[in-house]
Amino acid sequence: MDGISKAELDRLEAREMATGPAPLRPRDAATLILLDRKGSDVLVLMGRRHMKHAFMPGKFVFPGGRTDPADSRIRVADELHPAELEKLRAGIGLVSVARARAIALSAIRETYEEAGLLIGRRNTFATTKPDWQGFAEQGVEPALAPLRFIARAITPPGRVRRFDTRFLSAWRSDVAVELPEGGPTNELEELVWLPLEQAMQADIPEITRSVLGDLRQRLESDPDLSPGGQVPFYRMLNKRFRRVIL
């Protein structure tokens, strides 16, 4: 996808996203690529979006959604690794520590809401925030240290929804509680664990396919995803959708 023109990208994504008449400022969003190992395979958790959604209907995606700035004030068992925080703050301008923290925590919150998976440590946890009551009820204190920043992508202009999305990852072993009934929002019709290669062939957005390819390459050289790895950043530059490294 490096250097692809906007017209070419529009053709590729014609069935993925509705378009809008006016340019919109992208909103912060985060998504979590939850990983597991089965023999020699690395599995990724994906869910299918309902067809009624205006944004990527029917596509397999990772749990995720829009960032809530209030997430920055949530207490955690451990903070982001300094190398990961530095990467999250890099890019267009300098992202504040609070904003980077909110982005990372929103990935954890959305994974709970959409998949019923609570990433953190078993511990007493209390909060007045309604979106985090599930963690309090289950006795899980959210944890940021397991997260790794994998990629960033800004939706090109002309879409009815535009997001500045950070793709983060964690391992299934970082999940403190798996709710058997899934998450409370019911936004994903089904959840499946797919081998990485199989996930890349599924009905997924083109940007997701690119990010999975980046992840595959990173895992080949760094199977444990050490902190501070290279982060591809996809965005429009000089009328072309380009891939740069943070």
Q: Where are the domains of the chain?
A: 4-245
Per-residue pLDDT at 238:
79
Confidence of residue 20 (pLDDT cuts 50, 70, 90): low
Per-residue pLDDT at 9:
43
pLDDT above 50 for 207: yes
pLDDT tens, position by position, 27-80 = 999 999 999 999 989 999 998 866 555 555 567 889 999 999 999 999 999 999
**pTM for this prediction:** 0.86
Q: Which helix (H) or strand (E) holds 212?
A: helix 206-221
Per-residue pLDDT at 50:
62
Which of these, 109, 105, 104, lies nearest to 84 by C-alpha position? Answer: 104
Which of these, 38, 12, 62, lies nearest to 163 by C-alpha position? Answer: 62
Identify each DSSP E strand in 19-81 by its residue range: 27-38, 41-49, 60-61, 64-66
* φ and ψ at residue 99, rounded to 5 degrees: -65, -40
Mean pLDDT of 157-186: 88
* φ and ψ at residue 222, rounded to 5 degrees: -145, 80
Please give the Cα distance from 3 to 237 (Å, whole number): 9
Torsion 74-80-84-87 (CA) sign = positive
Q: Is 158 left (phi over 0), alpha (psi -120 to 50) or beta?
A: left
CA atoms in the 13 A half-sphere facing the CB of 91: 24
Which of 80-84, 85-89, 178-182 has the least mean pLDDT? 178-182
What CATH number matches the domain at 4-245, 3.10.20.600, 3.30.2350.10, 3.90.79.10, 3.30.429.10?
Answer: 3.90.79.10
**Strand pairing of 163-171 and 232-237?**
unpaired
